[in-house]
Structure 1
Amino acid sequence: MGSACIKKQPHQQRQQQQRQIQSRQSQSTNVSCHQNTQRRASESQQVQQQTNQIQIKENQSKPQINSGFTSPRSDLNDRSMLSKNELTKVEPLKHRFLQQESDSYLFKNNDAPDSDIAIQVKEPDITNLNVIKILKSLPPFQYDPELNKKFNDCISLPPHQFISTGIIYVGQWRNKQKQGKGRQYWPDGTYYEGYWQNHGANGRGRLIRCDGSYYEGDWLDDLQCGFGKNVDTDGNIYVGEWKDDEKDGNGTENWVSGDIYTGQYQSGMKHGQGKYIWSNGNSYEGSYSKDFIDGFGTYKWPDGQIYTGEWIKNQMYGKGTFYWANGNKYVGDYKEDKKEGYGIFSFADGKTYKGGWHNGRQHGKGVLIEADGTEIIGVWEKGKLVSQE
């Protein structure tokens, strides 16, 4: 068999190679250590430079402390003082800007009216004698403190005159509309004071017209609506409910003549149930329709006469009962305030007539029953018996 032979290096040659390897490792280690040392020195130098820069900046930014001020001050206090110093420099500029804006036109914003709609004017004096007289007779208009809070976000402007109408308004505004408390003057002398909303009279208010009539009460979109009091030029007074500038609902009307009506209204007219008392003592209580006594009701006279029954347009019309103060009584048909048709008349002395009536008198066939029961059957004409069976 053959054997493998391994060629061995001489001993001196191996030692020389080991020394060369160790030398290269040592050089590499020295270079790495030197580089690390240089890097640490460089980083230390940069940190020192940054520290110096920060210190310089702090020294530059710190105000010098007055030696007479002995209270301790922190950096926070220093910054606070700097902020105050800055504010004192800004405020005068801001104030001057606002003053310039005010001088040019303070109320040019989203709430004020456009200049082509209304212009600022002086509030006029009230010169209409009728209006002055009413104002002197009434207490000052009272605003509601609680309701006023609703308009805290509205702005108050000087008087503005509407170019198209000449009307002058002074009060609160929002979104270019009259909103809140305000007064308004018409060219003819009419004067309003009260609440506004959506550019119209809304809520409580008082309108004094140029002729001296006035209304004080609730408003809805420039119309008398709700509860209020109206006094006309003659002094007649209505106090009650309103709708669309008309008496509507329950109310009481007092005339200077002394007449009084209390009841229901619709579209400005007595309508529904009501009671009317005349100054002469007459009275009616019952149904009304479009300002007329109409339907069923009772009318009384001061002398004791009473009618209870049906009515059409202020007249007894239909079925009814009439009482006289002397005891006479009629039960039957009526037409235009007169007995018409069939009816029974009972006399105070005990007699009774049953039969036809025309123009307020017995007419046609009828029967007269005496107090003792005797009957007379016949024909009557204009209240007289003309034939007898």
Structure 2
Amino acid sequence: MKRFKKKRWLIAFIVFCVMGCVAIMPTPSDTSKPAKVEKVQSLNGKYGGKIASLEEDVHSDKFTFDSGDSYDGKWSKKVIQGKGKYTYKDLGVYEGNFKKGKRSGKGTFIWNDQSIYVGQWKNDKINGKGEYIFADGGQLKGTFKNNVFNKGKYTLTQNDVTYKYNIKKGLLTNQIEIAYANHGNYKGTYEGNKLTGTGTFTYNNSDNYFGSITEGKKQGTGTYTWASGAKYIGNWENDMMNGTGTYYYTMDKSSSLEGNFSNNVPNGECIYKKSSTEKYKTYWENGNCVKVEGYKDE
């Protein structure tokens, strides 16, 4: 758990290039049978139903543009309104809700490269809660504002390791969550491409560490709790108990060893507390107790 891979291109400013869909307002040349019609923008196409339907408040059918784009769904007279499917010839497919010819409400856009967005839209842009899945499997989940990812998490899985970057106001923060398939997980801060700052390691055997971390190693002050309930609170160096600290033998902290530790074992003089009323001064060498003396609080 010493390092993690950082995506070279980050998603601090993700802008999605989604083509605007304008209101389709064909002008019929014949109101009695299916016929070729024109959009206001002078782009030709063909309405699949009767042209007279374009005067109805609610109707459904397909309109195919000469450009190769097409729309199949609900209309309100001459304007796309309600649920439908719009296919962009060289971009992708949107399926969802429209309001006055614009994507609004809940909808799904699938790009030609198989990137996918599922979520809320407003005024033809991605706005609100949603999830964007990149072609490489990376995911943005949270809130969007005018096609820009604003707040949430970016998730990527590589080599059985899952990374979750935290994003606020469109920018990466220094917070990350990492799940290792065979080791456990980490939640805390990072700098560059290394775990540094403050964080929590939770291991597959249910052991837990919370405290200072430098380049993926326990460094500084921290607390390690074993699955058995035993706990060490104190100083760390190079991923091991080094310096002053207290080791508690049980979950209720009724017995403990307080003093100096070196490379994960007691070293030198330590106070052994057997109970609230019984204490001893002990001396240790290479993790072995070599001398015990009576102790009185001064």
What's the TM-score once normalised by structure 2's chain length? 0.52
1:236 equivalent among 105, 115, 122: 115
Instruction: Kindly tell me the number of residue pairs found equivalent between the two proteins.
Output: 217
The CA deviation at 1:266 is 1.1
Cα-to-partner distance string for 1:318-358 (whole Å, 9 max, x where unaligned): 53123567979462266xx767995448699x9997378xx
1:331 equivalent among 211, 215, 238: 211
1:369 equivalent among 252, 255, 261: 261
1:240/1:247 Cα in 2 relative to 1: closer, same or farther (>3 Å)? same
Q: Determine if the alignment matches structure 1 residue 303 to structure 2 residue 182.
A: yes
| Corresponding letter in the other structure for 2:95 | E
Q: Determine if the alignment matches structure 1 residue 321 to structure 2 residue 230.
A: no
Provide the residue aligned with 1:120 in structure 2: 29
Provide the residue aligned with 1:159 in structure 2: 36
Q: Determine if the alignment matches structure 1 residue 174 to structure 2 residue 62.
A: no
Cα-to-partner distance string for 1:91-111 (whole Å, 9 max, x where unaligned): xxxxxxxxxxxxxxxxxxxxx
1:279/1:192 Cα in 2 relative to 1: closer, same or farther (>3 Å)? farther
| Corresponding letter in the other structure for 2:143 | Y
1:312/1:279 Cα in 2 relative to 1: closer, same or farther (>3 Å)? closer
Distance, in Å, in 2 between the alignment partners of 1:314 and 1:289 is: 19
State the percentage of identical aligned residues.
Answer: 17
The CA deviation at 1:206 is 0.7
Q: Determine if the alignment matches structure 1 residue 190 to structure 2 residue 99.
A: no
Distance, in Å, in 2 between the alignment partners of 1:316 and 1:165 is: 58
Provide the residue aligned with 1:288 in structure 2: 167
Q: Which has the higher contact order (CA 8 A, sep 6+)?
A: 2
The CA deviation at 1:216 is 0.8
- Larger strand percent: 2
Distance, in Å, in 2 between the alignment partners of 1:288 and 1:270 is: 9
Distance, in Å, in 2 between the alignment partners of 1:313 and 1:119 is: 61
| Corresponding letter in the other structure for 1:369 | F
1:247/1:319 Cα in 2 relative to 1: closer, same or farther (>3 Å)? farther
| Corresponding letter in the other structure for 2:119 | G
Contact between 2:98 and 2:104, CA under 8 Å: does it hold in 1?
A: yes
- Larger helix percent: 1
Cα-to-partner distance string for 1:46-78 (whole Å, 9 max, x where unaligned): xxxxxxxxxxxxxxxxxxxxxxxxxxxxxxxxx
1:1-389 pair list within 5 angstroms: 118=27, 120=29, 158-162=35-39, 164-168=41-45, 170=47, 171=51, 172-174=53-55, 180-197=59-76, 199-211=78-90, 213-257=92-136, 259=137, 261=139, 263-267=141-145, 268-273=147-152, 276=155, 278=157, 280-284=159-163, 287-289=166-168, 294=173, 298-310=177-189, 318-323=197-202, 329=209, 331-332=211-212, 342-344=220-222, 354=235, 369-370=261-262, 371-374=264-267
The CA deviation at 1:166 is 1.7
Q: Residue 54 of structure 2 aligns to a residue in which SS?
A: strand
Contact between 1:252 and 1:260, CA under 8 Å: does it hold in 2?
A: no
The CA deviation at 1:220 is 2.0
Contact between 1:169 and 1:184, CA under 8 Å: does it hold in 2?
A: yes
Q: Residue 142 of structure 2 aligns to a residue in which SS?
A: strand
CA RMSD of aligned residues (A): 4.8
Contact between 2:155 and 2:163, CA under 8 Å: does it hold in 1?
A: yes
The CA deviation at 1:203 is 0.9
Larger radius of gyration: 1
Q: Residue 229 of structure 1 aligns to a residue in which SS?
A: strand
Provide the residue aligned with 2:280 in structure 1: none
| Corresponding letter in the other structure for 2:266 | G
Contact between 1:277 and 1:284, CA under 8 Å: does it hold in 2?
A: yes
| Corresponding letter in the other structure for 1:190 | D
1:162/1:239 Cα in 2 relative to 1: closer, same or farther (>3 Å)? closer
Distance, in Å, in 2 between the alignment partners of 1:315 and 1:206 is: 45
Contact between 2:219 and 2:235, CA under 8 Å: does it hold in 1?
A: no
